């Protein structure tokens, strides 16, 4: 295993700091590229005053943490942690509201950088992807050189850093990128796979969750090496044939899952796949049973979602809402419209009908969310003409609002009911 990065001592610690020994190496064609604290890095890249302070993205009152920079992580702050716990761990952290439009724009640009290197890009989320670069080596050099090229390009163009794992398989590349953080590269040649993998806890294997980890620990299989040296049939009798085979292959780094080119689905970015969706949700500052307050929030969320849809050039037919009660019970309801739409008022009418259809009486609500599913490219949507319909309606009004907000900011134009 070799770790290389921008820090001079990391380069000096390698046997081959100039990469010459890797130029002809084609045995490690899989890259896992992972942005470093992506949301926090994007949120603070133009805020030099926040460079040396703990930063939390999201995690407003009663919400959850979306991301935290490495300084905040030193205090134990993690994504998906409640805001209350994050503030208790790091009371002096600066909290920034997430800007999903900017996150999506940066993610799209990063993924395009990947695709300039290879068409075999499997996006796992907005901030990480697997790349198969075996077809790019003649043009761009070794996998390590490609990794360094990607890191430099992303830093220069986007102002953020990433870490890259380079290996012969998807699972080992994923683990290698974790070891490369932050802002580095780790190469795991085939002859070093076992020495890299076997000392690790079984919970670090790609795809092994907490329940599987706990089960393996109860069986006395604590390290990856313990799993590797357990006879396959014994392992399969203990955990099942399919899982036993998967764990056996992972423990030796011999999994050969092929990379399937696909775009990120989070926040509905990256194409016209009909399975994509876009959504937004918000936790109220105080539990409420006021219908007017709840519908006003549904309108605000709907406007945000449909605005993103129009920016992405997509429309959808299925509208869904999420309602979380004060006791954390959560329900969802959905409705499929006759035609795909990106019109704010049409989605809002469906969301309102879904909420009223719940028949809630004085039930205190903690969170609401809106999502539009079944997205497809707007160019493929042919709206049925309606006799007597006005020539200009809500769709044209939405696009006028979009033009105004692009020029003057998101607060320039908004529904009257959302003006404080």
pLDDT at residue 164 greater than cutoff 90: yes
* Residue of 66 and 378 predicted with greater confidence: 66
How many CB atoms are closer than 10 A to CB 50? Answer: 17
Structural domain includes residue 24: no
The stretch 120-137 carries a mean pLDDT of: 91
Confidence of residue 405 (pLDDT cuts 50, 70, 90): low
Structure tokens at 384: 């049925």
**Number of domains observed in the structure of the chain:** 2
Mean pLDDT score of the chain, rounded to an integer? Answer: 82
Structure tokens at 402: 């979009």
pLDDT at residue 353 greater than cutoff 90: yes
Structural domain includes residue 285: yes
Locate the DSSP E strands across 220-303. Answer: 277-288
pLDDT at residue 162 greater than cutoff 90: yes
Domain of residue 234, CATH code = 1.10.150.20
Structural domain includes residue 12: no
Are 200 and 224 spatial neighbours (Cβ–Cβ below 8 Å)? yes
Least confident of 6-10, 45-49, 94-98: 6-10
Same domain membership, residue 277 and residue 399 = yes
Nearest to 353 by CA among 335, 339, 340: 335
The stretch 172-195 carries a mean pLDDT of: 95
Structural domain includes residue 280: yes
What is the tally of helices (H) and strands (E) in the chain?
16, 14
pLDDT at residue 271 greater than cutoff 70: no
CA–CA gap between residue 113 and residue 116 (Å, rounded) = 5
Q: Would you state the pLDDT for residue 1?
A: 54
Structural domain includes residue 202: yes
Summarised one tens digit per residue, pLDDT across range 145-158 is 999 999 999 999 89
Return the axis-axis angle of helices 100-117 and 291-312, rounded to nearest 10°.
30
How many CB atoms are closer than 10 A to CB 357? Answer: 11
Same domain membership, residue 317 and residue 375 = yes
Same domain membership, residue 350 and residue 221 = no
Same domain membership, residue 238 and residue 358 = no
CA–CA gap between residue 31 and residue 144 (Å, rounded) = 9
Confidence of residue 174 (pLDDT cuts 50, 70, 90): very high
Domain of residue 287, CATH code = 3.30.1490.100
Same domain membership, residue 359 and residue 247 = no
Interior CA angle at 3 toward 43 and 246, to 5°? 90
CA–CA gap between residue 354 and residue 334 (Å, rounded) = 7
Same domain membership, residue 334 and residue 402 = yes
Summarised one tens digit per residue, pLDDT across range 55-113 is 999 866 667 888 999 999 999 999 888 888 999 999 999 999 888 878 888 888 899 89
CA–CA gap between residue 113 and residue 91 (Å, rounded) = 37
Same domain membership, residue 326 and residue 213 = no
Confidence of residue 396 (pLDDT cuts 50, 70, 90): low
**Per-residue exposure over 381-400, b if at least 16 CB sit within 10 Å of its own CB, e if not:** eeeeeeeeeeeeeebeebee
How many CB atoms are closer than 10 A to CB 231? Answer: 10
Instruction: Name the DSSP letter for residue 144.
Output: H
pLDDT at residue 22 greater than cutoff 50: no
Radius of gyration of the chain (CA): 24
Q: Is 34 labeled as ligand-binding?
A: yes
Structural domain includes residue 3: no
Summarised one tens digit per residue, pLDDT across range 194-212 is 999 999 999 999 888 888 8
Structure tokens at 159: 């102002």
Structural domain includes residue 6: no
Are 186 and 147 spatial neighbours (Cβ–Cβ below 8 Å)? no
pLDDT at residue 167 greater than cutoff 70: yes
pLDDT at residue 6 greater than cutoff 50: no
Same domain membership, residue 398 and residue 345 = yes
Could you give the percent of the chain with pLDDT greater than 70? 80
Task: Answer yes or no: 128 catalytic.
Answer: yes
Interior CA angle at 372 toward 343 and 341, to 5°? 30
| DSSP H or E run through 245 | helix 241-252
- For residue 333, the cross-strand partners are 321
Same domain membership, residue 303 and residue 372 = yes
pLDDT at residue 313 greater than cutoff 50: yes
Same domain membership, residue 404 and residue 298 = yes
Q: Would you state the pLDDT for residue 146?
A: 96
Catalytic residue, chosen from 6, 46, 128, 148, is: 128
Same domain membership, residue 407 and residue 380 = yes
Q: Would you state the pLDDT for residue 260?
A: 80
Domain housing 354: 271-418
Same domain membership, residue 297 and residue 241 = no
Are 145 and 138 spatial neighbours (Cβ–Cβ below 8 Å)? no
Instruction: Name the DSSP letter for residue 91.
Output: T
Q: Collapsing DSSP states into helix, strand and coil, what is residue 386?
A: coil
Structural domain includes residue 120: no
Give the CA distances from residue 247 to residues 47, 172, 194, 251, 397, in Å, rounded to whole numbers and listed in that order.
Answer: 44, 13, 14, 6, 55
Q: Would you state the pLDDT for residue 202?
A: 94
Summarised one tens digit per residue, pLDDT across range 319-334 is 999 998 888 788 888 8
């Amino acid at each position: 295993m070799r770790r290389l990065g921008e820090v001079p001592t990391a380069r000096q610690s390698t046997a081959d700091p100039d990469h010459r020994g890797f130029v002809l190496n084609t045995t490690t064609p899989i890259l896992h590229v992972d942005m470093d604290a992506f949301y926090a890095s994007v949120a603070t890249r133009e805020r030099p005053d926040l460079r040396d302070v703990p930063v939390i993205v999201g995690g407003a009152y009663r919400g959850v943490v979306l991301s935290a920079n490495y300084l905040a992580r030193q205090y134990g702050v993690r994504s998906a942690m409640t805001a209350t716990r994050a503030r208790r761990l790091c009371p002096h952290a600066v909290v920034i509201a997430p800007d999903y439009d900017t996150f999506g724009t940066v993610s799209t640009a990063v993924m395009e950088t990947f695709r300039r290197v290879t068409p075999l890009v499997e996006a796992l989320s907005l901030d990480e992807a697997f790349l198969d670069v075996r077809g790019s080596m003649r043009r761009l050099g070794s996998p390590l050189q490609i990794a360094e090229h990607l890191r430099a390009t992303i830093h220069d163009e986007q102002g953020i850093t990433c870490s890259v794992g380079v290996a012969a398989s998807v699972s080992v590349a994923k683990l290698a990128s974790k070891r490369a953080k932050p802002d580095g590269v780790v190469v795991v040649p085939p002859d070093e796979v076992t020495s890299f993998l076997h000392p690790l806890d079984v919970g670090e294997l790609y795809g092994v969750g907490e329940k599987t980890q706990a089960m393996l620990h109860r069986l006395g299989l604590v390290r990856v090496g313990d799993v590797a040296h357990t006879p396959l049939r014994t392992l399969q009798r203990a955990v099942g044939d399919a899982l036993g085979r998967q764990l056996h292959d992972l423990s030796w780094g011999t999994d050969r899952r092929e990379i399937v080119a696909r775009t990120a689905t989070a926040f509905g970015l990256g194409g016209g796949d009909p399975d994509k969706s876009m959504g937004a949700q918000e936790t109220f500052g105080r539990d409420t049973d006021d219908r007017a307050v709840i519908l006003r929030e549904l309108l605000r969320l709907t406007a945000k979602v449909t605005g993103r849809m129009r920016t992405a050039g997509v429309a959808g037919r299925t509208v869904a809402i999420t309602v979380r009660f004060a006791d954390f019970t959560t329900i969802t309801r959905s409705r499929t419209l006759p035609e795909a739409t990106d019109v704010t008022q049409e989605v809002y009418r469906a969301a309102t009908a879904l909420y009223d259809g719940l028949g809630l009486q004085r039930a205190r609500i903690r969170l609401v969310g809106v999502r539009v599913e079944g997205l497809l490219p707007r160019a493929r949507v042919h709206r049925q003409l309606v006799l007597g319909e006005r020539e200009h309606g809500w769709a044209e009004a939405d696009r006028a609002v979009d033009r105004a907000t692009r020029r003057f900011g998101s607060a320039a134009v908004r529904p009257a009911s959302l003006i404080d």
